[in-house]
A and B are shown apart, each in its own frame.
Chain A
Amino acid sequence: MTPTRSSQVLVAEDLARRGQLPAAVAACYEALAVNDRDPFVHALLGHLMLEGDFYDEAIAASTQAIELDPDCSPAYLALGLAYDRRGGMWDQSVLVWHELAEVVPDLVTAHVQLGEAFAAAAFEEEAVDSWRRALELDPKEARAHYNLAIAALKREGMSTALPTIRKAGELDPSQDELFFALLGLPAERLEFDVAKVKPEAEARLFAAGMLLRAEDFFGASDLVRLVLDEDPANAEALALAAYAYLKQEAANEAMACALRALTYSPDLPTALYTLGVVYSRFPGLAKHAARVFIALAKAAPQHSLTHVLLAESLLGLQRYGQAKQAYRAAVRLDPACVRARFGLAAVRLTEGGYAEAQWEMRRAAYYDTRRQGNFWRLYDAYAEGGDS
């Protein structure tokens, strides 16, 4: 049977979707005044309290929703997240995520969170199983990779953890976005006709960048070639060529192009980025990668990922103190950077700062789960009465 929602609930829901927290909470209470046994309202209230970081209130409301309807999957999500974000309630958290993973088996987050709750409760093997299950569902799930890296770090040290950290970094889509940000492309994707691109180097490079972002490597190469035919010393064009090679796994060609670009423009961020990424793929070139990323972090200090890349290269050199500073710089610029948070956790663990490491991982989960917006997916599915 499809659960029905009252008009008061719909008002509260609309306000909640628009992020108007105080008004949505007030609307929920109005809905409760009409019917205080409506699981939708309690689930919504749980979500809203979670959005405000009021965890005890979120726990109370979500628990109420589950009591009223044990199938209320969005309430399980809010409850589990509230337990985890609040901290110190891992045993309850394990039960909730276990339940949610049963009810919505394709919800990757449930498995990742279940693993984290297990890990916090010192059930390392069960935690690893949960993260592996998450990766079966989504091989690109970054937090599962990072958690596996941290588990490896706890068991066998940094050398075992590093490959997984690198792998998670390679899967990070924001790294490509860094390149395009360094290139100066706007965040939004623009539609344009390649045939109408002005015959000027700047316009052609801009268009080549847009095509590269759309993974049209051939189109981009044609434009870059036109620029290089006119000016073989155009560093930006060489950097674009390097990036195109890099994306096609042609590391040597990418390295050659990037190095050539740097001979003409030694501080060009795009070339530094490409060269650093190429170097970092070869463990023997970790020192080179670190040097290049130091230059990149200086050339583009406003981007948190440049500091993350530097920190990761320093991890490879076992310079944990410097890596910590770089990770911290990244977190200061972007507190929501999951990659930096996990990196910082790894460094903290090598220093014996267990509680601080736990905190960084919890913050990573906090930002990651906020970004995902799973609540509304589950809520809508629940409202439709179907599977999530």
Chain B
Amino acid sequence: MAEKKSGGKKPAAKKPAAKKAAAAPVAPVEHVPMRNPDFPVGVDYYPLDEERRSWSDWYDRDPEPDFAAMAASRISDVRVFVSWRCLETQVGQYDEDAMERLERIVEAARAHDLKLIVCFFADDRLAEMNEVPWGKRRDSRTDDYLIQRELSLVQKIVNRYRAEPVIKAWDLGNEAFCSGFETETALEKWVTELREAVREVDPDRPVLLGVDPETLLRETGVDPRGAIDLTERAWSHLTAPYRAYIAEGPVTSGPATYTDSFLLRAALRDLPVVVDGIGVHALEFSAAEEAAYVRTALYSALMNRASGAMLRRWRDLETEKREPYFRDPFEVLVGVVDVTGAPKPVLNEVKRFAAVAARLDPRRYALAPERAAVVIPAERYESLPSLAGLYDPRACLQAYIAAKEAHVPVTVAREGDELGGYHALYLPSPAKLTPAMWADLSAFVQGGGSVVLSYGGGDVDPALREIFGVEFNGDAGPRHAFACRVAQPGVLGDLRSFDARMDLPHYGLVTASGAMVVATDATGSPLLTVNQYGQGKAVFIATPVERAIAQNDPWATPTPVRHLLRTVYGTVASAAGAGAMLECDTPEAEIAHFLGEDDDILLILSHNAEKMTATLTTPRTVATVQDVRGGAPAEVGGKTFCVPLGPNGVAALRVKFG
């Protein structure tokens, strides 16, 4: 591949256009803000940084140096955690010294132009912030008396700072605290009461609940979406237990690098979503791995419509010198500076990221719309003994990855959502869909939409025959090999025949009754069919391939299987008008295309821990490509150019067409 040796990670024009660039005119110097107010980067500032400290040491330190370092690193938001135990030492008596500590934090934030998000009820399993001694071990989430005391505390703090511009938002509780709720009703009641208490005093500033709808559901079985809808901001984050469930494996490659953005997409409904808790969960990673992971998570947030990003912790927790060490699934141990306060490589990543984010003015650039969606089936909310609630999120993550690998602008929807805005839908391995969803699918395809459905086991709805044009003859059960024989080359992209060693949990025996058989298994049983139904297309995969990828080894999926899935997804999306706006030869390069009037911005993120070069082909002739942070533009003069990417590297390019 002819690459212009431009050094570093600058884009290189491909040969036809790599003629010695006549020194392109340097753009006039424009004022670039230090931070992007529309995409703030924040950090959680925990009260204790040493395990040997006690609850009474809550923020008993000078925050000034830390806040100065944060401001220098282009961090703009800081979340601080209220200690009920320190503040209300006896019923109705608030400790002035503790109030003074909170005041010191506010002053430090004011001095460094930082914004504070105040979290009232949090559990970090160290500072015992909610364990009021007079609470007599009653549950502070459900006990009426304690809730009344909580309301008083909240109103006291909000009242004190209601005119304080440094306060950006009120966070009612973090996920570790909220995981103690046992029902949706109890959570919603608590949120409603606290929110009203805040609103009585402060009618303006946003109130939020620091929980992720997916991770909390997984942890507790409580669906917090109703409670989140009572607030003004939504949060999304990956917890250690959820990571162990959905993508346990190396954090700098494979599914782990897509998990943050998958959760973000799943959390995006009507409210703006901040990606929270960015950072590794354990102490076992090297500084370089931490930095690579944080870089991936930060850019994933920016590329997938987040409204901001919050880092997991400012300073490493200094743990006691004892082994083995285990704190808790919700552990927050790893920060962006070490125990001495010295910055770790990850802080440089944050700084660089903030510099890039500052160049992305949402008034000038808009992310290309997503017309394709991975649909989470309603059965995902079923509890055991149904295994759908366990299988479906994993299958949906694999579908999301396949769509990303096909460079399809994709989002996550749920069964029952309005489908009118989409052109292509992916339904990964559902065991069943509701009759209403079948009706919606029928209308969607008839109206010109395209659907990819993979068989999820068991019986199927009669609507399968109508929409997908196949007759279902039963489940052939599990298989230990995945064979594909292409019968109709070119119909669903560049498919190839293969035999791969892979366990398949089910294989649906179907015969075509109107659909075209595009590929079969080794015995001739249809594997992949496509049916024209009304104005749209319905593609059926006879095996739960997304689930199979998730349940085998997602870090070692046979290459042809991944190729099959992303080719089908990409081809279907393109035919439906929901495909990629540009072509890229590297599946592991995620691309976000921000459209502007004069130029576009491309963010290209590598999900690979090795170096690679992505070759991009655009439908229009590219005049110049330039790093968004500045530097001389490189002339291209063609439709194709190459972008070298380091391990888990990122390129942020301003592209001018001509």
The answer to whether A and B interact is yes
Binding site for B on A (CB under 8 A): 19, 21-22, 25-26, 28-29, 52-57, 85-92, 94, 120-123, 331-335, 352-356, 358-359, 363
Show 14 residue pairs from A and B whose CB-CB distance is below 8 angstroms, ordered by the A residue: A19-B478, A22-B385, A28-B385, A54-B390, A55-B245, A57-B384, A85-B248, A87-B244, A88-B240, A88-B281, A88-B282, A88-B326, A121-B325, A354-B285
The answer, yes or no, to whether B286 is at the interface (CB within 8 Å) is: yes
Contact A91 B244, beta carbon cutoff 8 Å = no
**Which residues of B lie under 8 Å from residue A53 when comparing CB positions?**
551
- When the two chains form their complex, are residues B249 and A359 in contact, meaning their CB atoms are under 8 A apart? yes
Tell me the bound Cα distance from A86 to B384 in angstroms.
Answer: 20
A22 to B506, CA, bound (A): 12
Give the residues in chain B near A356, CB-CB below 8 Å. Answer: 250, 609
A92 and B553 contacting across the interface, CB-CB below 8 Å: no
The answer to whether B245 and A91 touch across the interface, beta carbons within 8 angstroms, is: no
**Contact: A335 with B556, CB < 8 Å?**
yes
Question: Interface residues of B, CB < 8 Å — how many?
Answer: 35
Q: Which residue of B244, B284, B501, B551 contacts A86 across the interface (Cβ within 8 Å)? A: B244
A363 and B553: CB pair below 8 A? yes
Q: Is the CB of B385 within 8 A of A25?
A: yes
Chain A residues contacting B285 (CB-CB under 8 Å) are 354-355
Cα–Cα distance between A123 and B478 once the two chains are bound (Å):
41
| Among B248, B478, B609: residue with most chain A CB under 10 A | B248
Q: How many Å lie between the Cα of A84 and that of B234 in the bound state?
A: 34
Of all chain A residues, which has the CB nearest B387? Answer: A22
- Report the 3 A-B pairs with minimum CB-CB distance, sorted nearest first: A121-B324, A335-B556, A91-B324
- Scoring A29, A53, A120 by chain B CB atoms within 10 A of each residue's CB, the highest score goes to A53
CA distance A20 to B551 in the complex (A): 15
Are B384 and A25 within 8 A (Cβ)?
yes
Contact B501 A90 (CB under 8 A): no
B248-A52 in contact (CB<8A): no
Cβ distance B563 to chain A, nearest Cβ, rounded Å: 13
Q: Which A residue's beta carbon lies closest to that of B556?
A: A335
| A324: nearest chain-B partner, CB-CB | B610
**Chain A residues near B251 (CB-CB < 8 A):** 355
Closest Cβ neighbor of B394 among chain A residues: A53
Q: Are A90 and B385 in contact (CB under 8 A)?
A: no
Query: Distance (Å) between the CB of A96 and the closest chain B CB?
Result: 13
Q: How far is the CA of A353 from the CA of B241 in the complex (A)?
A: 23
Known: A87-B244, A90-B326, A91-B325. Is A354-B387 also a contact (CB below 8 A)? no
Interface-centre pick from A22, A25, A120, A331 (highest chain B CB count, 10 A): A22
Interface: B471 (CB within 8 A): no
Q: Is the CB of A29 within 8 A of B326?
A: no
- Determine the distance from Cα of A22 to Cα of B249 in the docked complex, in whole angstroms: 25
Are B244 and A26 within 8 A (Cβ)? Answer: no
Complex Cα distance, B286 from A358, in Å, reads 12
A87-B326 contact, Cβ under 8 Å, with A26-B385, A333-B501: no
Task: Identify B248's interface contact among A22, A87, A90, A352, CB under 8 A.
Answer: A87
Query: Does the CB pair B244–A88 fall under 8 Å?
Result: yes
B559 at interface (Cβ–Cβ under 8 A)?
yes
- Most A C-beta atoms less than 10 A away, residue of B240, B244, B559: B244
Task: Considering the complex, give the chain B residue whose CB is closest to the CB of A360.
Answer: B250
Please give 12 more A-B residue pairs, beta carbons under 8 A apart, in addition to A22-B385, A88-B326: A22-B387, A25-B387, A55-B245, A86-B244, A90-B324, A91-B325, A332-B559, A334-B501, A352-B286, A353-B289, A354-B284, A355-B289
Kindly list chain A residues whose C-beta atoms are within 8 Å of the C-beta of B244.
55-56, 86-88
Could you tell me the distance between the alpha carbons of A354 and B325 in the complex, rounded to whole angstroms? 17
Residue B558 is within 8 A (CB to CB) of chain A in the complex: yes
The answer to whether B556 and A332 touch across the interface, beta carbons within 8 angstroms, is yes
Beyond A86-B244, A91-B324, whether A52 also contacts B385 by CB under 8 A is no
Cβ of B597 under 8 Å from chain A:
no
User: With A53-B551, A335-B556 as given contacts, are A359 and B245 in contact (CB-CB < 8 Å)?
Assistant: no
In B225-258, the 8 Å CB interface with A consists of 240-241, 244-245, 248-251
- Whether B552 sits at the interface, judged by CB under 8 Å, is yes
Q: Tell yes or no: B143 within 8 A of A by CB.
A: no
Distance A28 CA – B551 CA, assembled complex (angstroms): 21
Q: Which residues of A contact B469 (CB under 8 A)?
A: none
- Smallest CB-CB separation from A92: which chain B residue? B326
B556 touches A331 (CB 8 A): yes
Assembly CA distance A13 to B274 (angstroms): 46
- B323 contacts the other chain (Cβ, under 8 Å)? yes
A333's nearest neighbour on chain B, judged by CB, is B501
Contact present for B384 and A332 (CB under 8 Å): no
For A358, the closest partner residue in chain B by CB is: B284
- A94/B324 contact (C-beta < 8 A), A87-B248, A88-B240, A332-B559 known: yes
B457 CB within 8 Å of chain A? yes
Q: Specify the chain A residue showing the minimal Cβ separation from B457.
A: A22
Q: Chain B residues near A359: list those with CB within 8 A.
A: 249-250, 555
Known: A352-B286, A354-B284. A57 touches B324 (CB 8 A): no
Cβ contacts under 8 Å, B390 to chain A = 52, 54, 57
The answer to whether A29 touches B385 (Cβ under 8 A) is: yes
Q: A55-B245, A88-B240, A359-B250 are in contact. Are A122 and B323 (CB under 8 A)?
A: yes
- Report B-chain residues with C-beta under 8 Å of the C-beta of A332: 556, 558-559
When distances are taken between beta carbons in the complex, the residues of chain B under 8 Å from A22 are 385, 387, 457
A residues near B250, Cβ cutoff 8 Å: 355-356, 359
Shortest distance in angstroms between A55's beta carbon and chain B's nearest beta carbon? Answer: 6
- Give the residues in chain A near B248, CB-CB below 8 Å: 85-87
Chain B residues 274 to 296 lying within 8 A of chain A, measured CB to CB, are 281-282, 284-286, 289
Instruction: Specify which chain A residues have a CB less than 8 angstroms from the CB of B384 in the assembled complex.
Output: 25, 29, 57
Residue of A nearest to B553 (CB): A335
* Chain B: CB-nearest residue to A86: B244
Residues of B within 8 A of A28 (CB): 385
Cα-based distance from A240 to B355 in the complex (angstroms): 66
Q: How far is the CA of A229 from the CA of B558 in the complex (A)?
A: 45
* Distance from A229 Cβ to chain B, minimum over Cβ atoms (Å): 40
Please state if B284 and A54 are interface contacts (CB–CB under 8 Å). no
- In B548-580, the 8 Å CB interface with A consists of 551-553, 555-556, 558-559
For B240, give the chain A residue with the smallest CB separation.
A88
Task: Report the bound CA distance from A90 to B327 in whole Å.
Answer: 11
- Please give, as numbers and ranges, the residues of chain B lying within 8 Å of A54 by CB-CB distance: 245, 390
**Bound complex: CA of A89 vs CA of B324, how far in Å?**
9
Flag if A123 contacts B558 (CB, 8 Å): no
Contacts of B249 in A (CB 8 A): 359
- Residue among B285, B289, B324, B558 with the highest chain A CB neighbour number at 10 A: B324
Q: Measured between C-beta atoms, what is the minimum distance from A347 to chain B in Å?
A: 13
Complex Cα distance A190/B556, Å? 34
Nearest to B505 among chain A residues (CB) is: A21
Complex alpha-carbon distance, A94 and B609, angstroms: 32
User: Chain A nearest CB: distance from B263 CB in Å?
Assistant: 17
Who on chain B is nearest to A24 by CB?
B385
A21 to B240, CA, bound (A): 26
CB B180 to nearest CB in A, in angstroms, measures 17
Measured between beta carbons, the chain A residues less than 8 angstroms from B282 are 88
Query: What is the minimal beta-carbon distance from A90 to any residue of chain B, in angstroms?
Result: 5
CA distance A356 to B609 in the complex (A): 11
A353 to B558, CA, bound (A): 24
Complexed CA–CA distance, A134 and B384 (Å): 37
Bound CA span A354–B556, Å: 19
- Bound form: Cα–Cα A85–B391 in Å: 17
What are the residues of chain B within 8 A of A334 when measuring CB–CB?
501
| Cβ-neighbour of A123 out of B240, B323, B385, B556 (below 8 A) | B323
- Chain A: minimal CB distance from B409 (Å): 29
* Contact, CB under 8 Å: B326 / A52: no
State which of A52, A57, A89, A355 has its C-beta within 8 Å of the C-beta of B284.
A355
- When chains A and B are docked, how far (Å) is the Cα of A331 from the Cα of B323? 33
- Set B387, B457, B552, B555: member contacting A52, Cβ < 8 A: B387
Question: CA–CA, A25 to B386, complex, Å?
Answer: 8
Instruction: Among A92, A123, A333, find the residue whose CB has the most chain B CB atoms closer than 10 A.
Output: A333
Task: Report Cα–Cα, A52/B457, bound state, in Å.
Answer: 15
Which has the most chain A C-beta neighbours within 10 Å: B240, B323, B387? B387
Q: Please indicate the chain A residues that have their CB under 8 angstroms from the CB of B387 in the complex.
A: 21-22, 25, 52
